[in-house]
A and B are shown apart, each in its own frame.
Chain A
Amino acid sequence: MFDVIAQGDGPLFMDPDPDKAREFFRTKKRAMANKLMTVREAVEKFVHDGEYLAIGGFGANRIPTAICHEIVRQRKKNLIFAGHTSTHDFQILAAGEVFDRCDIAYIIGLEARGLSPNARRYMESGKVTVCEWTNYAMALRLKAAAMGVSFVPGRNIMGTDTFKHSAVKVVQCPFTGKKMALYPALWPDVAAIHVHEADVFGNCRIRGISIADLELARAAKHLIITCERLVHNEEIRSDPTQTVIPYFLVDAVCEVPFGSYPGNMPYEYYSDEEHLKKWLQVETDPEEFRKFLDEQIYGTKDFNEYLELNGGIERINQLRAQEHLIELD
């Protein structure tokens, strides 16, 4: 057995036992069944209070916005959230106060756009129990889970306060004597990923960067896919090189055109910076923000209504031009 040289004091929210994970995956359905359903059905069926949730994409890029909204709309609670590369997705879920535990790699911020005042208030309120990680650390935890092993080593994080408040253990490598940080496997109960194309069974294509979604898709016990476009299974089979998520990992397929809005969808549409700015501005006043949420999320029946409220196809067309670097006047 390795001697543990140092370890973080952060809570480990999920069991890294690979045999327990295998027992789960042993019973996961392999049938090539039609998994098409609405976003509401998918969230009702696969997101349960108290469970561990992870969201694919990169904060405001290729995110399953409809799923995030619906989790808030259905007032899910006491979730554990993977705060990994999360920006606008975190902002939405923090607005709904749907989680009370959080693995933190990147939260609250919207990168160059600034910090979310509401998400910051929520994280400073004492309502959320946290554990610190880094973006690669969380990707490694998903990679370990995808591999079916209980940990993988990395050479980052050691010596820092991020490490002190993580659940990482440092050991001496039995081959070289060097110190290695061990990252415990993370099998989220449920994950949602937005993709370009999927068939009704869940075979998925993604264009552009994959971020940590290939690992996430394989680590998650339940996987909800939202897609820009449904394609026929014949199309998938015509070019299997393009398939990055095979159907048997997937539990639900929801067709949500423009589903990453107000986030960027590579090769489709750019992020709606005006809308994201509006979120940041309105959040400075909690009262106004409540009204905004009522209007945008609680008061809309689905993603289409939300999109219509914010300019619909006309707005998408402008963002499409931006994505393709076409100047409109």
Chain B
Amino acid sequence: MADYNTMELMIVAASRELEDGATVGVGTGAPCAAAMLAQKTKAPNLVIMFEAGGISPLLPTMPISVGDSRTFYKAVMASGMCEIMETCQRGMVDYTFLGGAQIDMYGNLNSTVIGDWANPKVRFPGSGGANDFASFCWRIMVITPQDARRFVERVSFITTPGYLTGGNAREEAGLPANTGPYKVITNMAVMGYDPDSKRMRVESIHHGFTFEQVQENCGFELLKAPEVVETPPPTEEELSILRSEVDPHRYIIGR
């Protein structure tokens, strides 16, 4: 079997969730690497969108910013933020790929504060475009390392909506119908959500890990999908494209 690190594993697993012809709103870092890898493997017609206005670029190298010139290199359109977010709000964007400091069992994300909002222990950037993408895109995917400090019972601040308090809370709050968290991709597993309670559940476990290990690195009780399978490991081809074409300078996979 091929040798790979944690970040490579997450990016490969994430890239497989995107099908050819789909539309996806992404941020920088691992989400962008996953989208680039998908574009260079199974989804050549993947439409990548960046919140600052880039539509369907042929990414030559990893962008450093979601607004830098790489995000509209050989793109079909260099637009603006309203164009992108309104395309999402109209229902034409299938996925969004996000990161986040903290995630809870309903897929809510915190990137605003640790501690009390009024007197923050640690202040983070805030929503950026994450709340917007996660409100509007049909399916939200999150890439983050499996770590009990990140997977918490309750996020200290819901910056970006998941299923809120579960059940139908999301739609009742006023967010567009039939949208919401879809997958969480970590270095140990791929998780989805229970269709009724909207709680996070383990769907596939990466080679070499057990459900117990995933649970130990999660701050809340995880559910299990009716059938939990083993994630197929990254192939030589996926790793080779990731290393030579997607991130040759190892900005992301070297972390």
Q: CB within 8 Å of B: which residues of A? A: 57-62, 83, 85, 87, 104-109, 111-113, 115, 120, 123-124, 126, 132-137, 139-140, 143, 154-162, 165, 170, 178-181, 207-215, 264, 266-267, 270-271, 273, 323, 325
Contacts and interface: CB of A to CB of B under 8 A. Distances in A.
A325 B63 CA distance: 13
28 contacts: A58-B66, A59-B65, A87-B65, A105-B126, A106-B128, A107-B125, A109-B124, A109-B125, A111-B27, A112-B64, A115-B125, A132-B127, A137-B132, A155-B176, A158-B173, A159-B158, A161-B157, A162-B131, A162-B158, A208-B72, A209-B71, A209-B78, A209-B80, A210-B79, A211-B80, A266-B69, A325-B60, A325-B61
Of the listed residues B61, B81, B128, the one surrounded by the most CB atoms of chain A closer than 10 A to its CB is B81
Contacts of A139: 80-82, 85
A209 B84 CA distance: 11
A105 B82 contact: no
A58 B121 CA distance: 27
Given A157-B135, A215-B82, A267-B69, A113 B125 contact: no
Interface of B: 27-29, 51-54, 60-61, 64-69, 71-72, 78-82, 85, 89, 108, 112, 117, 119-132, 135-136, 157-161, 164, 169-170, 173-176, 251
Of the listed residues B80, B117, B251, the one surrounded by the most CB atoms of chain A closer than 10 A to its CB is B80
A134 B85 CA distance: 11
Contacts, number: 196
Nearest to A207: B78
Contacts of A212: 80-82
Contact of B66 (A111, A140, A207): A111
Given A105-B126, A170-B174, A213-B80, A111 B89 contact: no
Interface of B (DSSP majority class): loop
Contact of B127 (A124, A135, A270): A135
A123 B89 CA distance: 32
Contacts of A136: 51, 81-82, 85, 129, 132
A267 B75 CA distance: 13
A14 B224 CA distance: 49
A153 to B, nearest CB: 10
B69 A61 contact: yes
Nearest to B79: A209
A155 B136 contact: yes
Contacts of A264: 65, 68-69
A207 to B, nearest CB: 8
A160 B160 contact: yes
A104 B123 CA distance: 11
Nearest to B160: A160
A53 B119 CA distance: 25
